[in-house]
Every structure is written in structure tokens, then in C-alpha cells.
Structure 1
């Protein structure tokens, strides 16, 4: 028989739905800022899945992915429980900025501390109040600083169960990537939670193709776990999953105006011209060539770059 589960002080009984207001702090005006946590629990016992978007407040694609999963009723499971937090960093979302009001990157302060900075306190409450109940986390992000990520999943290859689920998700690119200290991802993995990090698009922009890729991938996972009510929502990805074990950033050798010539997802060959950098005066034009064969998995969309700025991320073929 399924037992009661208590999340953020609320008892979640089998067969019930809740929208909890996770409020950690107030604005300067003393206005309470609520972070809605949407929970649907089936009568039957099963896995507990956490869906998160907007960990960085300016990453709108992730917010839209979780919103669509709610709208399509994917979050109402046949068994188990699904917890959806469309906007984790409401503070940043309100200001259209990446960080918390204290200037800290929420994704660099996990697992947080009880009496630390505002971001650290929030991370602590998530770590202590929600994560202990969760089996799987799907966290949706975008690229930052005008860098557009091709739709991709990042998984530590040592996390065998997460890696297996990543293949079920069927992303265009599956990148083997080690955990970064003090991230949400590292904390989840240390707690023994399966974790999928989706990256796609760039900050302060919505991209329909990226969002659709993420939504369909998440639906495939929910269906694989036996939790999906409506099987008609499942769409298999007919394109191959490209596994990337090594990659390298191409950096600008000159400052100036950047003119990319390739799009995300394109395969390039060593020596192929992928961009040019010019000055504003028509006196300089520098070609940027691909340093090796591989897939372009990130393109810098900034019109202006400084010497040393990352402008492309390109996979490296296995030798």
C-alpha cells in the first residue's frame, strides 16, 4: 500500500494533486514571491520524477518545456508521482537575468546552506525538502551569453542508469560530460538520483524546435517508466543520436564583428570556413576555419566578439 509523502510541509496522499507555494523570501517591498510547485500523485505506487525549468532566470526554453508538459497533462501519471517546477529561479525570471538577486548563480551553490546567501538558502531547501523523495530529475536549460546550444543531453558516463535513460530520451546529441562542483546536477548524483540535463537554444529566447525536441524526449522517458496516460503523445525520433565523448571550443583570434557561416548541428570538415571576423571599417577580414572534423553543437550569436571569446563548440571524432 502506498504511504503518505510529505513535501514542503504538505502531506501528498495517493491519488491527489497539489500546487504548493514555495516562498523563500520577499521583495524589497515586502511582497511575497511564490514559486509554484505542481504535484500530481497517482493511486498506484511508482517512480517519482522531478521536472525543472528556469534554474537560470533568463533561460525561457526550459520554462516553456515544463509548461507544455503540464498543459499536455503529461505530469498526471498513471503510477508514481511527478513534481513540476516550471520556474525555479522566479527572482531571475522577473528581472530576465541569470542570477539570484544576491548576484549568485543558483547552479553553483548546491547543496546550499541553511544560513548562507539567499541563493544558498534556496538551494538548501530544494536539497532537503524535495530531492530526498525523487528518483529522477529532468532539468531543462539553454546556452548563456548569446551562445546557442544545439539540442543535447549532457550525462556523466559513469552514471550508468542516467546514461541508459538518455538513450531513451533520443536527443540529437548525447554528450558525455563530467559533473561540475556545486551544481544541481552534482548534488542530485551524489544523492543517488538519476539525472538528465537538457541544453538547447540560448537565453532570453524561445525556440520552437528546441522546445519540441525536449518535450518529446521527456514524454518518451515518462512512457518508458510506465507513467504516461496518453500513448498518442509518444513520437519516436527517426534521426540518429550522435554520441559525443570529446569536443573543443573554437575561440576568436581577433576582436571584431562575427559572421557565422554554419548552423548548429551541421557536420564540418577540418579546414572548412565556418565564420569570418571583420572590423567595422572594411579593412580587416579574418577567416575562421574548423580545426578538425565534427558536429557544431554551439554557435555564438553575438554580433561582436573579443579576442579569446568562445565562438563555436565542435565535437571531436573518436580516433
Structure 2
């Protein structure tokens, strides 16, 4: 459990007693116009003691579907715990969100500068504040992301291999896929692991886009985790996933052999057989039509939805080896 003094939780200089609802301000710097930027941190405490769960999104400013998931947790009252405390940070990279850009104004990717520095770049300062002012209070973290520009991710949880607690939590979350992937250097996920804070990273959809299927998967998964921790309010129902989640040990990108106009025909999350037609690449003049075929049997966990591709561009992310 997170540390409290006299049962009072103090975050960002704000004291929260059991049973209180508080909106703190995660401010780091003003805009270049000297306009102050308020970054709300919504904190809900139950009168009953329990774990502290942190929901984060918007580490990348263009990943609005993650923001929408945390927004719904707040709007629907799911963030009001039966016991313990829930902290919601819907938009961490507020500067990128304002400018509709993935990175910070300094050009840095926030998810590559953790744990940050109090006297470094703007992105580094935000990372440092998150790690030092918010993270120490959390017992569990759920971080919501989306695919890159034009690339639509199937709803999935990403964790490193050989982390039994996270594997169990991922199964409870109930996304269609669990993708084993290494913790990237200087990422939020790697930093949390080093500090002994269990983090589930959710990926789904694509940037600049909100998809109901992805949103529902994220919200329902969060409810299942809260229910598992006995924190979910009694008025909320927990759905059972339609299928058991598929654990993927290895996966590989199918890349474009030619440049041209691209159209995918294979659907996201579908299982394909080796040799199946996944889509086609054409030229603008009706003289060329190349069929993209699967190199192996597996599940499609990412589809490039860009209408124009170049030779070597990643088109489909397909599983190559499932967990036994």
C-alpha cells in the first residue's frame, strides 16, 4: 500500500483525507504566451483503506483514444473506489495534446526520457515530476496508449516476459491479446519496473482517432482490474471477455515490397493462414496490382491504414509464436 501520514494522502501539495475527492494541478511550465497550463489530476479516495491505482494516458500528445478511456472512467464514476484510492491523469503530455503532436515542444518523446531530471529539458522535467510526485503513491499503474499515425493496433496489453504478477493481471484485464515485449530504455514502463511498481501498458487503435471497440476494451479491462482489487463500485457490472486472451511470444512485421496505393483486406485481430491475401498495392494508373500475402500463420495485431505506402513500410504486424 502507498504510504500515508495520519491516513492523509498528500499529492502535489494537496492533502486528501479518506472519502474526499480532489483535483490537484500537475503544472510544470507555462505556454510560450505566458499562459498557465493546468493539468488536472483527479484523485478519489474511499473511506475504506485499500490499494492506490494510477490511470495514465496522453504520454504521447496525439494518442487521444487513451485519453478517452481515462475520461470515461472519470465521467462514468468508475474512478470512485469502494476502497483505496484512484488517481487519474488523462493527459500527461498536455503540450503535445494542445499542439496535436506526439512529442513535446522541445522535440523529445516523453516516453524516452524517464526518469527525467528536475533541471533538464521540458519533457525531462515532466517525467521527473511524474516519477517523484505521483508514482511513489501508486501501488498499481495502467497506462493507455494507441498505435502510431495510420497504424491501427488491436486492443492489447504489453508486458515483458517472466513477470508472473503482470501476466496474471493481464489475463484479468482481458484484452484480446497480450504481447510480450521488452521494456524500452528510459520508458515509463521500464522505470516503473525498476521501482517495483507493476504497470500494465494498454495499446489500441491509432493516433488522432477514437474507436468505440478500443475504448470499450480499455474501460472494461480497467473495471476488471478494479473488481479484482475489490475497488469497483457495486453499481458497475463486470463483463466476461468473449474469448480467452491470446499470449504472443513473438511477432513480425509484413513490409511493403513495392511503393504505391495500399488497401488492406484482412481485418484487425483476425487469424490468417500462410499464403492468405492480406491486401493489395496498386499504382495510380491502373497498370499494376500486387497482392500482399501472409508469410506465416498468425493473428493480425496491427494494420497500416495509410492509403499510400513506400517500399519497406510496415503493413501488418502478425504473431509468429504463441505462448504454449
TM exceeds 0.5?
Answer: yes
| Alignment partner of 1:140 is 2:144 | yes
Moved over 6 A (4+): none
Structure 1 unaligned spans of 5+: none
Q: Calculate the aligned-residue CA RMSD, in Å.
A: 1.3
Q: In structure 2, what is the equivalent of residue 217 of structure 1?
A: 221
Secondary structure at the counterpart of residue 237 of structure 1? coil
Q: What are the residue-to-residue correspondences of 1:1-319 with 2, within 5 Å?
A: 3-318=7-322
Distance 2:115 2:167 in 1: 23
Cα displacement string for residues 69-124 of structure 1 (whole angstroms, at most 9, x for unaligned residues): 11121111111110001111111111111111111111111110111100000000
The answer (yes or no) to whether the contact 1:2–1:45 under 8 Å persists in 2 is no
Deviation at 1:317, TM superposition (A): 3.4
Is this contact kept in 2: 1:173–1:241, CA < 8 A?
Answer: yes
| Conservation of the 8 A alpha-carbon contact between 2:275 and 2:295 | yes
Contact 1:66 1:86 in 2 (8 A): yes
- Structure-2 separation of matches of 1:306 and 1:116: 37
How far apart are the structure 1 equivalents of 2:37 and 2:157?
31
Shift of 1:286: 1.6
Residues 33-62 of structure 1, C-alpha deviations (whole Å, 9 max, x = no match): 111000011122111100011111111111
What's the TM-score once normalised by structure 1's chain length? 0.97
Equivalenced residue count is 319
Cα separation, 2, equivalents of 1:38 and 1:168: 25
SS of the aligned residue for 2:87 comes to strand
TM-score by length of 2: 0.96
SS in 1 for 2:321: coil
Task: Name the SS of the counterpart of 1:232 in structure 2.
Answer: coil
CA distance in 1, matches of 2:240, 2:143: 21
Contact persistence 2:82–2:230 (CA under 8 A):
yes
Segments of 5+ residues of structure 2 without an aligned counterpart are none
Q: Is the 8 A contact 1:2 1:14 kept in 2?
A: no
Deviation at 1:5, TM superposition (A): 2.2
Q: What is the CA–CA distance in structure 1 between the aligned matches of 2:220 and 2:15, rounded to whole Å?
A: 31
Shift of 1:177: 1.4
CA offsets 1:245-294 (integer angstroms, 9 cap, x no match)? 11001111111111111110110000111111111122222221100000
Q: What secondary structure, in the 3-state scheme, does the structure 2 residue paired with 1:130 have? A: helix
Q: Cα deviations across residues 19-46 of structure 1 (Å, max 9, x unaligned)?
A: 0111111111100011100001112211
Contact 2:149/2:208 (<8 A) preserved: no
8 A contact 1:223–1:231 mirrored in 2: no
